[in-house]
Amino acid sequence: MTLPTTDALKGIYQTSMIIRRTDERLLSMLAAGQARMTYYSPRGQEVISATVGALLSDDDYVVTIYRGLHDHISAGTPLGPLVAEFLGKASGTCSGKGGPMHVTYPEAGMMVTTGIVGSGLPIANGLALAAQMRGEDRVTVCNFGDGASNIGAFHEALTLASLWKLPIVFLCQNNLYSEHTAYELHSPVDSVASRGAAYAMRSVTVNGNDPDEMWAAADEAIRHAREGGGPTLLEAMTFRLRGHTYGDGGSYIPKNQMADAVEADPVPGLRARLLREGLSEADIVDLESEVDRVVNDALQFAIDSEEPDISELRTDVYSSEVFA
Amino acid sequence: MAEVRVPKLGMSMTDGEIVEWSVADGDHVEAGQIIYSLATDKVDSDIECPASGVIKIIGDVGVNYEVGAIIAEISEDEKK
């Protein structure tokens, strides 16, 4: 079992803060009526993807869902074009035609973002199968939420992945709410990881908000996949600190549960950890100032960018151009 | 100065009605603080303030506004 070094923890904190600040800016733009996209905040889940991102190589593949900003950033998608895509601008990763639900940036391995719960898993199998057939050592990390574990595609994908020993990590970010429904009201089993037994799949549950636990489990799962050992169902426990989507105030979340989760917010928790590891307050403030600069630049780039031209409607539809 | 416009709270939302302001005209407000409640055909939502400063309320309670309509402005505190 390996644990993150202080340098690795610093990197995880930096990525987590880029996610946090970008999320804050997007929520503020939505509240001010300056942005009009459907937005699913990843607040509270940053440490999971920041840790996984630190462990993946440039060649590895990532699949995620509409609550994907943290996964997009951690996979290495450049922040300016990423935010531009969220805002529907021509300079976005998909020329503004994908939006938050369909971010794709293959250059960083950010292969697919899906808008349908559970639909990413069979696609991730395809990516992993391609790598396996070509003899490449790339690993596919497929992110999804607890709600997806009740979808048929989850069970179909796990069956084939286990049977074919695909190089994949099924990363369930269990934030305890499937849209507006609490975990215990939608799932008959105590943990998502326990489902893996039905498919003879290596399965682990960890506290995803703890960078040590997350690092150790993700490192082992990625290594296992890369070395031909097959898939892992890795369940990372976390909590969604915002409603399902922007505009959902989360009135169905018990107040004490939310208060406890805010108290245990993993991002300030990691900051305190860095201080205990010996970083000075000044070191951390420097890092945070750099994060602010990066996020401000990206937001400004996106805000200043043009909307896509109407002719864009005919591009990226088929492999050949569509003529008017 | 920051403008506060009616946000789009869902794919199909086109307009919303201000149910109540939780702050008064001229109050100091903080980014992230709940400043008003907005009703749409689907849901009532508490809306957070996008910036810190002194608020000038423009939108009236009980009136329906289109998404994007300016309903308040926030200017920087003079004291700071």
Q: Is B56 strand, coil or helix?
A: strand
CATH code of the domain covering residue B64: 2.40.50.100
Cα torsion A81, A113, A96, A42: sign:
negative
Option in B10, B11, B50 nearest A31 (CB): B50
For A148, counting Cβ atoms within 10 Å of its Cβ (0-12 exposed, 13-18 middle, 19+ buried), the class is buried
On whether residue A323 sits in a domain, the answer given is no
The answer to whether residue B80 is domain-embedded is: no
The one-letter amino acid at A105: Y
Dump pLDDT digits (tens) for A197-230.
999 999 999 999 999 999 999 999 999 999 999 9
From A90, A51, A48, A81, select the one nearest A67 (Cα to Cα).
A48
Chain-chain contact of A30 with B67 (C-beta, under 8 angstroms): no
Smallest CA–CA distance from A250 into chain B, residue: B45
Residues of A in contact with B3 (CB under 8 A): 32-34
Please tell me the predicted confidence (pLDDT) of residue A324.
Answer: 60
Put simply, whether B63 touches A (Cβ < 8 Å) is: no
Which residue in B41, B28, B42, B52 sits closest to A31, CA to CA?
A: B52
Residue at A278 is within a domain: yes
Q: Search chain A and give the residue with CA nearest B35.
A: A31
Interface contact B7, partner A, CB < 8 A: yes
User: What span, in angstroms and rounded, lies between the C-alpha atoms of A32 and B51?
Assistant: 9
For range A70-98, the mean pLDDT: 97
**Least confident range of A50-64, A110-124, A166-180, B28-42:** B28-42
Structural domain including A173 reads 6-314
| pLDDT, mean of residues A237-265 | 94
Task: Return d(Cα A202, Cα A224) in angstroms, integer.
Answer: 10
pTM for the structure as a whole: 0.93
B51 in reach of chain A (CB within 8 A):
yes
- CB distance from B19 to chain A under 8 Å? no
Return the residue in A21, A25, A27, A265 with the most chain B beta carbons within 10 A, the one to mutate for interface testing.
A27
Instruction: Write out pLDDT tens, residues B14-35.
Output: 999 999 999 999 999 999 899 9
On average, the pLDDT of chain A sits at 96
CB contact under 8 A, B11 and A38: yes
Q: How many CB pairs under 8 A join A and B?
A: 54
A31: nearest Cα among B41, B74, B56, B80: B74
Comparing CB atoms, the residue among A34, A245, A246 nearest residue B5 is A34
Residue of B nearest to A36 (CA): B8
Spatial separation of the C-alpha atoms in residues A42 and A265, rounded to whole Å: 12
- Give me the number of domains chain B comprises: 1
Question: Cβ–Cβ of B48/A36 closer than 8 Å?
Answer: no
Q: Could you read off the pLDDT of A262-290 as tens digits, one per residue?
A: 999 999 999 999 999 999 999 999 999 99
Confidence of residue B79 (pLDDT cuts 50, 70, 90): low
Closest partner residue to A36 among B8, B47, B50, by Cβ? B8
Residue A30 forms contact with B (CB below 8 Å) = yes
- pLDDT > 70 in chain A, percent: 99
Residues of chain B with Cβ-Cβ distance to A27 below 8 Å are: 48
For residue B78, what pLDDT is reported?
Answer: 67
Say what the pLDDT of residue A53 is: 98
**Which pLDDT does position A80 carry in this prediction?**
98
Give the confidence band of B11 by pLDDT, cuts at 50, 70, 90: confident
Instruction: Say how many domains are in chain A.
Output: 1
Contact of B6 with chain A, judged by CB distance below 8 Å, is answered with yes
Residue A320, domain member (yes or no)? no
- Which pLDDT score, from 0 to 100, does residue A68 have? 98
- What CATH number corresponds to the domain at position A283? 3.40.50.970
Q: What is the pLDDT of residues B45-66, one digit of tens each?
A: 899 999 999 999 999 999 999 9
In a domain, A1, yes or no: no
Whether residue A234 has pLDDT greater than 60: yes
Mean pLDDT for the stretch of residues A283-302: 98
Please report residues of A whose CB lies closer than 8 A to that of B70.
33
Dig out the tokens for A100 from the structure.
Answer: 């938050």
Q: Does B18 touch chain A (CB under 8 A)?
A: no
- Name the residue range of residue B56's domain: 2-75
